[in-house]
Amino acid sequence: DSGVTQTPKHLITATGQRVTLRCSPRSGDLSVYWYQQSLDQGLQFLIQYYNGEERAKGNILERFSAQQFPDLHSELNLSSLELGDSALYFCASGRGVNTEAFFGQGTRLTVV
Amino acid sequence: SQQGEEDPQALSIQEGENATMNCSYKTSINNLQWYRQNSGRGLVHLILIRSNEREKHSGRLRVTLDTSKKSSSLLITASRAADTASYFCATDNNQGGKLIFGQGTELSVKP
């Protein structure tokens, strides 16, 4: 158990809908990362927050947004969902910005 | 886009043999990390090597880093069936701390 909690574990939703994925980092970790993993694209970095502020951005679609709250938990919002958004979404946390990352078990999103 | 590229894409060995996986990357880095992923589960951090380090050990794992060639290798000695997993290298190129992962090497260790 990495200490990173992601909810929900599974999510099935229809195209065009909006979902929110939630992540609680390990106690004491200030960094939160979001990744998307699919068979054809591999592990894609989406976005990173550090102590509530956006730190780095990857190939995150405009339909996706995220934030980190004062209690350091983070949410990833995916809107206007398309079939191609079906993937595993991972959250990871770390102590700082150049340290190892600890991954949650992921949310498996299926868009039908 | 991927920063690291692992080689080989897949590796099948017998229990007790050593497994070597390689990772090449493109830009200068702050550190390079190796992770393991069992099918469909979260990634587990194995080892972090900083750009000023050349070799690091952790149990049966040995990681080397050659910054002049922009490459790293992960050696797993005396492999076990439980080592069967995908192994990823990830680079921190000091652009805010984001970790960029390669496509991974799928390791299969047969009992």
pLDDT for res B1: 46
> Binning pLDDT at 50, 70 and 90, where does residue A59 land?
confident
Q: Which of A88, A94, A97 sits opposite B96 (nearest CB)?
A: A97
pLDDT, tens digit, 9 for 90 and up, residues A34-47: 999 998 888 999 99
Min Cα–Cα distance to chain A from B38, Å: 11
Dihedral of the alpha carbons of B3, B8, B12, B14, in degrees to the nearest 10: -90
Q: Which of A85, A92, A84, A75 is nearest to A35 (CA)?
A: A92
Min Cα–Cα distance to chain A from B101, Å: 6
The owner of tokens 């398309």 is A82
For residues A52-80, give the mean pLDDT.
95
Collapse the DSSP code of A78 into the 3-class scheme (helix H, G, I; strand E, B; otherwise coil) and give the result. strand
**Spatial contact of B81 and B13, defined as CB atoms under 8 Å apart:** no
Q: CB distance from A35 to chain B under 8 Å?
A: yes
The owner of tokens 């070597």 is B20
Q: Which of A58, A94, A98 sits opposite B94 (nearest CB)?
A: A98
pLDDT, tens digit, 9 for 90 and up, residues B31-64: 999 999 998 789 999 999 999 999 999 999 999 9
Q: Which of A98, A102, A104 sits opposite B45 (nearest CB)?
A: A102
For residues A65-75, give the mean pLDDT.
97
Q: CB distance from B87 to chain A under 8 Å?
A: no
In whole angstroms, give the CA distance from residue A26 to residue A87: 23
Tell me whether the omega of the peptide bond preceding residue A25 falls within 30 degrees of 0, making it cis.
no
Report the chain A residue with the minimal C-alpha distance to residue B32.
A100
pLDDT, tens digit, 9 for 90 and up, residues A13-25: 999 999 999 999 9
Taking CA atoms, A51 is separated from A36, A64, B6, B23, B100, in Å, by 22, 20, 32, 31, 20
Q: CB distance from B99 to chain A under 8 Å?
A: yes
Flag if B98 and A50 touch (Cβ within 8 Å): no
pLDDT for res A96: 84
Burial of A22 (0-12, 13-18, 19+ CB in 10 A): middle
User: Which residue did the predictor score with more confidence, A111 or B4?
Assistant: A111
Strand partners, A22: A7, A75
> Binning pLDDT at 50, 70 and 90, where does residue B98 land?
confident
